[in-house]
Amino acid sequence: MKPYRIRRMRHTATLLAGLLLGGWSATAQSTDAPTPRPWYVPDHAVLQTGGGIGMLTTGAGYSPSRHPHRFDADVLVGYVPARYTGHRAFAIFTAKATYSPFSVQLAERWRLLPLSVGGLVNYTPAAQINRNSADKYGYRGYYWWTTTLRAGAFLGSRVALSLPRATGGKREVSLYYELGTNDLYLVSYLPNRSGLSLGQILTLGVGAKVDL
């Protein structure tokens, strides 16, 4: 790996850690009457695997309305190691929105969000993903799709545990799964509903979210 890339990665890691720690310290300072946090401090941190956006994916997000249901808007960075790409590791950048319209109280501190629906777009800036340059098959309308940008949609569920904060108030720790697909799988399935089954185009993502 070239030195400047390592430097750049370190810089990104420092920035991310700073952002997360900033979130923690901002909540740590809050008292019984919580002071409003600066707009840019995220509401939660995310860790995910699968779902077409990385083997190890991390990021942060905002939840404008927390209870009784949630709307989450997340920004994530995923990593796919070289052994699963055949050549070089991928970084995948994702913007994702999830809405959970129902909430079921399971126990005093546990609740279930039985349905989550969401969508995402992601970008994989990998040179080995053959780009559809106009000088290739553009003249035939070949390769009409974008190679590095993908859109996806998913359905899932989420279980959340409410934990007291040392400074008062509560924070939720939740686990979720998502069954989804992407635009290319969908356009493969739609005209071939006898040749392909819905199960064949599904992807699974599993993750955790922690309120900051």
Partner 1 sequence: MADFTFSRLAVRLAFGVLLTTAATGCDLLEFSPNDTRAPASERDLTRKNLTALAQRPVPTGGDTLRFVFTSDSQRYYDDVPPLVASINQQRGLAMVLVGGDISDFGLAREMRWVNDEFKKLNVPYFTVVGNHDLAQNGREAYQRIFGPLNYTFTYAGTRFILVNTNGREYEFNGHVPDVPWLQQQLADTVGVRRQVVMAHVPPEDGDFDAAVTPAYTSTLEQAPRLVLHLTGHNDKFSVRQPVPERVTYISGYSVAQRNYLLLTLWGRHQYKLETISY
Q: Closest distance between partner 1 and the C-beta of residue 116, in Å? A: 17
Stretch that binds partner 1, among 2-10, 51-59, 105-113, 157-165 (CB under 8 A): 51-59
Complex with partner 1: residue 151 or 163, whichever CB lies closer: 151
Local structure of 66: helix, strand or coil: coil
HSE-CB for 180 with a 13 A CA cutoff: 28
Q: Is position 58 an interface residue for partner 1 (rule: CB under 8 A)? A: no
Sign of CA dihedral 95, 51, 57, 149: negative
Q: Closest distance between partner 1 and the C-beta of residue 52, in Å? A: 5
Sign of CA dihedral 92, 15, 23, 164: positive
The residues, ordered by sequence, that sit 6+ positions from 161 with a Cβ below 8 Å of its Cβ are: 109, 110, 172, 173, 174
Stretch that binds partner 1, among 3-11, 39-47, 52-60, 164-172 (CB under 8 A): 52-60
| Residue appearing with tokens 């779902």 | 51
Q: Closest distance between partner 1 and the C-beta of residue 145, in Å? A: 7
Q: Which one among 59, 78, 118, 156 touches partner 1, defined by CB under 8 A?
A: 78
Alpha carbon dihedral 145, 147, 148, 150, in 10-degree steps, equals 50
The residues, ordered by sequence, that sit 6+ positions from 177 with a Cβ below 8 Å of its Cβ are: 156, 157, 204, 205, 206, 207
Q: Is position 160 an interface residue for partner 1 (rule: CB under 8 A)? A: no
Alpha carbon distance 109, 106 (integer Å) = 8
Q: Closest distance between partner 1 and the C-beta of residue 124, in Å? A: 7
Complex with partner 1: residue 136 or 165, whichever CB lies closer: 136
Q: Is position 207 an interface residue for partner 1 (rule: CB under 8 A)? A: no
Q: Is position 155 an interface residue for partner 1 (rule: CB under 8 A)? A: no
Alpha carbon distance 133, 74 (integer Å) = 31
Q: Is position 151 an interface residue for partner 1 (rule: CB under 8 A)? A: no
Residues within the interface to partner 1 (CB under 8 A): 49-55, 78, 80, 84-87, 90, 92, 124, 126, 128-130, 132, 135-137, 143, 145, 147, 150, 179, 182, 184-185, 187-188, 191-196, 200-206
